[in-house]
Structure 1
């Protein structure tokens, strides 16, 4: 795949600033003093092996799991806010495994995404139009039960549902997992388009090569620690990254 064409360089201002973040599960340390910054308007990607703590980091940012350390979003502290209040500030996650609500239609799933907006509710029809422009198949299948859709269509629906919540930073957890290559291309085209439209994206991705081709900056997480961090194009040619993560997709 060719190197992605990025939008104009992102701002030097931070959307997310994470300092000495730790997550513990029943005495097991999942994240160890993680410090990183995600700049306004960039795609920041996190790669790492199975069990490294990638999903734990996303879940800590969105408030799904408790953490210690500092998480700042656009200059304001998130640490003490519950997950739904973080979502209402615009910190919205597309979870691993998509987790669409199978008995509900495509349209019903999308409208549920509006609940994340709370007091920031906008023009629902304009939001739907945006999602349908990005993923035309969802417009065609708007009455279909989401549980009967293909994995790729469900991934598009999960992203669309998140967009209905007006994210200021969109956190994507393994968007290519289990998808056919042609569908992965469609999903990543949409990710790039969202970024070109100005959205900040935090991408956790098991396909390290694709992630580094797509992102502006990146970090490598191993055993709960950040071991490398920098420009994605530089990390893509780092001998250790090439040895550990290229040739086969890095497993989640």
Structure 2
């Protein structure tokens, strides 16, 4: 569904990504874990067209999308839920959701899309007329996911969805992601909580200093004693 081939990204002459290659199969949850500063968010930004590749290629269902502007990547079906949620505070919950539909270039209205979001996160229906800035952090995360879903993604990218949330809200959010995946949505998940990510995903990769240093089935990685070293940044890239 999503193929990232030999992707490299540079910031001011510093390589943030170094030849990253991975594939996300249709209908799977793929987790990307690693220490802070490893390049995880950069990889999502590169896939989304927010930052350009210095080298490599990104394909969505075989079609090259690298080099396209971010709005065209989103309209092709690759939609990101950003770190920190970034809902538009003065707009209502309903307006934020509508913005997700309009930004993806979807014409007309569809109650089915909104019904799906409300079924997944009922609190968004209850608070539909409330300014997004007055929601709790967990509710804003639900809104950010709902806004992305209104764009009808073929692949959903999530950047640190558990960040700053209470454990009970984290579980609610991740339960929703599992439900979406069971309905067929392909998900690429960046998550600092390695244990939760590996429990949720089908396959996973560990990114360290801009390189993939370990990848495979999530369950196998969860039981691998080397994974802890990679996650905390102590392992060598050739381990």
Q: TM-score, normalised by structure 2?
A: 0.94
Q: Which residue of structure 2 aligns with residue 227 of structure 1? A: 213
1:56 and 1:66 mapped to 2: Cα distance?
Answer: 10
Deviation digits for residues 173-205 of structure 1, max 9, x if unmatched? Answer: 000000000000000000000000000000000
C-alpha deviation, 1:123, in angstroms:
4.5
Query: Is residue 155 of structure 1 aligned with residue 141 of structure 2?
Result: yes
Which of 30, 33, 40 is matched with 2:16 structurally?
30
Which moves more between the two structures, 52-61 or 71-80?
71-80
Q: Which residue of structure 2 aligns with residue 200 of structure 1? A: 186
- Describe the shift of the 1:245–1:70 C-alpha distance in structure 2 as closer, same or farther (beyond 3 A): closer
Deviation digits for residues 82-134 of structure 1, max 9, x if unmatched? Answer: 1111100110000000000001000000000012331x546421111100000
8 Å contact kept, 1:217–1:231 = yes
Instruction: State the number of aligned residues.
Output: 231
Residue aligned with 2:184, SS:
coil
Q: Which residue of structure 2 aligns with residue 133 of structure 1? A: 119
Query: Is residue 240 of structure 1 aligned with residue 231 of structure 2?
Result: no
Aligned ranges 1:52-71 → 2 under 5 Å: 52-67=38-53, 68-71=55-58
Q: Which residue of structure 2 aligns with residue 96 of structure 1? A: 83
Runs (4+) of structure 1 exceeding 3 A deviation are 120-123, 242-246
1:194 and 1:122 mapped to 2: Cα distance?
Answer: 23
RMSD (Å) for aligned C-alpha atoms? 1.2
1:31 and 1:170 mapped to 2: Cα distance?
Answer: 21
1:52 and 1:178 mapped to 2: Cα distance?
Answer: 20
Which 5+ residue runs of structure 2 have no aligned equivalent? 233-239
1:201 and 1:159 mapped to 2: Cα distance?
Answer: 12
Q: Which residue of structure 2 aligns with residue 170 of structure 1? A: 156
2:138 and 2:51 mapped to 1: Cα distance?
Answer: 27
Q: TM-score, normalised by structure 1?
A: 0.89
Residue aligned with 1:52, SS:
coil
Which 5+ residue runs of structure 1 have no aligned equivalent? 1-14, 247-252
Which of 30, 50, 55 is matched with 1:44 structurally?
30
